Amino acid sequence: MDATDLLFSVRDTSDETEFYTPVPEGYTTGRVKYVVVMGTVMSGLGKGIFSSSLARLLQGKGLRVAPIKLEGYLNVDSGTLNPFRHGEVFVLDDGMECDMDLGTYERLLDQDLTRDNFTTSGQIYSAVLERERRGEYLGRDVQMIPHVTAEVKNRLRTLAVKSRADVVFVEIGGTVGDFENGYYIEAMRQLAYEEGQQNVLFVALTFILEPPTLGEQKSKAAQLGIKQALQMGIQPHIIACRAQREVTDKVREKISVYTNVPKARVFSMHDCESIYLIPSRMREAQLDQQVMHLLNLTDRANPGVERRDWAAWQRFVDRILAPKHEVTVGITGKYTSVRDSYASLLMALEHSGGALETKVHSKWIDTTNITDENVAEALADCDAIIVPGGFGSRGAEGKISCIRYARENKMPYLGLCYGFQMAVIEFARNVCGLKDANTTEVAHDCRDAVIDILPEQKKIEGLGGNMRLGGRDIEVKPGTLAAKLLGGAKTVRLRFRHRYEVDPKYLECLESKGLVFSGKAPDQPIMQILELPDHPFFVGLQAHPELTSRPLRPSPFFVGLVQAALARRESKTK
Ligand code: GLN
């Protein structure tokens, strides 16, 4: 049976057959290749980092790549998820609230993604149930196999058609063996069968334990994890071993023996200083070449493109590895113990550090106990401060104290979303004299609600769907610091995720005392960037510039902050 016969048979949806695989229009089997990345042993191993680094290498060879993340949970999007449990909620330009891994893909691929790149079980089941209600299953009983799995495959193939990708990278959330992800793995088994030889490649990420009491690396958990994938009909082509230290030859051999994967394709993905070193490590291990070979893609590579691409990337990595300066940026936050909840922010700092050959240290500041009296002590070793996005009242007063300190002591300040709103409150209270200024998010009945719920959002009820979300244009006021940072651009597009905004009735008061709103929405009185002209760097954005910062195109707002922090540090040491 050749590929065409196979496609014919899987397309057959008559009631005489058990096959059910609708294929989107314009789809040609064998043109697009798939790399499927799944995890074993435990979650949180960095499947997204592995997948996006490999995708980055293939993209660098001139191939078109499109990632998709398949989440097991029933939520339709990540909007209502607590970042403390799941890492930050990443927002795409089209307003999709999704898993933080999408941020990793966007950064490594320098590519804007859409809702087509993110699927949850909630979306899959909803689509199947809606189809069932429309009678599209033609009287059949609707089953996990073949109907739900068909929906999964259809999404991948639709992405392939829409993106015209050479390679679709599929990342499956959770781990092999999780009850909720089982049907995704089964769908991938079917996909490999239907697409045929050299068209689907499986990567199993696993974890090598090194118990301190034993002092050596142990591979049993990894072996058992991979065995589980084999039991589900998936033979991995590549095994990536996460470990604290480089995985020894002996352990790689052991894994190879137990899994039918050649040792050259058992890759040690041990801890390193920056995730941006992973592509280089993979390249050294020739993983990219192996993938090109296994998927029969070698003819599609463009060596000229690859040389130029790699040189630029290498320069960025070299600058991260050998910084000439260092600064410390204080970050206030509610989720102080979980770095994942601020992943994009930390990445944006790393990107600007790369541009300025500076190691940016971050100092987490829990603001719940900070007051005007002890703030100087808390910020003593910081060269700059960021108040990032947040929700609710916890630590709000402490954040305001930090902002006041930064404003009065000319410490570089960057406020992101909530940090923008807090800066307005601080200014209203301490400069405009509106002592009871606040946001209605914190104090519903305050006298001066300088930050209030957006009129457009007031109409929408319920917590799930009332945020102003996604990419919006900002009109930038000429001659301001924002305009300078943006190289004179008149508009900039950034991403938003907020429910509250500056109440325009306070604009006159705030502006008359010196606060400058240097960015506004083009068609509504929504303030989006603020700054203080008599301060070295005091900038707030209602938007989230950290979401669109990229390794080789760092956010100018972060670059500006780090530059100002460097200047402050240098002036102190002179
Ligand atoms: N809580 C604020 C709002 O809803 C800020 C949101 C944020 O920081 N992302 O407007």
CATH number at residue 546: 3.40.50.880
Is residue 90 in contact with ligand 1, taking CB distance under 6 Å? no
Task: Give the pLDDT score at 3.
Answer: 47
Q: What is the CATH number of the domain that holds 299?
A: 3.40.50.300
What is the number of domains present in the chain?
A: 2
**Token digits for 215?**
């002092």
Which numbered atom of ligand 1 lies nearest the CA of 441? 1
Which of 315, 340, 369 terminates a domain? The answer is 315
Closest to 169 in 3D by CA, of 101, 266, 77: 101
Q: What is the pLDDT of residue 44?
A: 84
Question: Is residue 142 one of the residues assigned to a domain?
Answer: no
Instruction: Catalytic residue, from 382, 402, 417, 509: name it.
Output: 417
| Beta strand 491-498 pairing with 468-476 | antiparallel
Domain with 352, as residue range(s), is 323-573
Whether residues 200 and 282 share a domain: the answer is yes
Q: State which of 287, 315, 343 marks the end of a domain.
A: 315
What is the CA(468)–ligand 1 centre distance, in A? 10
Q: Do 225 and 204 share a structural domain?
A: yes
What is the model's pLDDT at position 8? 42
- Give the mutation target among 345, 418, 456 for probing the ligand 1 site: most ligand atoms within 8 A of CB: 418
Same domain, 350 and 499: yes
- How far apart (Å, rounded) are the C-alpha atoms in residues 540 and 512? 18
Does ligand 1 come within 6 angstroms of the Cβ of 390? yes
CA 190 to chain centroid: 29
Residues 253 and 227 in one domain: yes
Domain endpoint, select from 268, 296, 315 = 315
Clarify whether residues 296 and 335 are in a common domain: no
CA 153, CA 139: separation in Å to the nearest integer?
Answer: 22
Find the 492 Cα to ligand 1 centroid distance in Å. Answer: 20
Question: Which pLDDT score is estimated for 83?
Answer: 77
Asked whether residue 94 is assigned to any structural domain, the reply reads no
Mutate to test the pocket of ligand 1, among 399, 416, 458, 497 (most ligand atoms within 8 A of CB): 497
Query: Does 469 share its domain with 494?
Result: yes
Q: Which two tokens stand for residue 508?
A: 């006159």
Assess if residue 208 is contained within a domain: yes
Where the chain has pLDDT below 70, the residues are 1-16, 334-338, 455-465
User: Catalytic annotation on 546?
Assistant: yes
Specify if 23 maps to a domain: no
389 lines ligand 1 (CB under 6 A): yes
The amino acid sitting at 248 is T
Cβ-based neighbour number of residue 91 at 10 Å: 27
The atom number, within ligand 1, closest to the CA of 467 reads 4
Query: Does residue 342 sit in the same domain as residue 297?
Result: no
In this predicted structure, what is the pLDDT of residue 472? 97
Picking from 366, 289, 363, 356, the residue whose alpha carbon sits closest to that of residue 326 is: 356
| Same domain, residue pair 437 and 477 | yes
Q: What pLDDT, in 10s, does the model give residues 253-304?
A: 999 999 999 999 999 999 998 999 999 999 999 999 999 999 999 999 999 9
Assess if residue 394 is contained within a domain: yes
Q: Which helix (H) or strand (E) holds 496?
A: strand 491-498
Do 347 and 291 sit in the same domain of this protein? no
* One domain, residues 232 and 288: yes
Cα 47 to averaged position of ligand 1 atoms, centre (Å): 29
At 334 the pLDDT is 62
Residues in contact with 373: Cβ distance below 8 Å, sequence separation at least 6, in sequence order? none
Number of CB atoms found within 10 A of residue 156's CB: 22
pLDDT of residue 336: 53
Residue 448 in domain: yes
Structural domain includes residue 79: no
Is 509 in the same domain as 486?
Answer: yes
Do 306 and 394 fall within a single domain? no
| CA-nearest residue, atom 5 of ligand 1 | 418
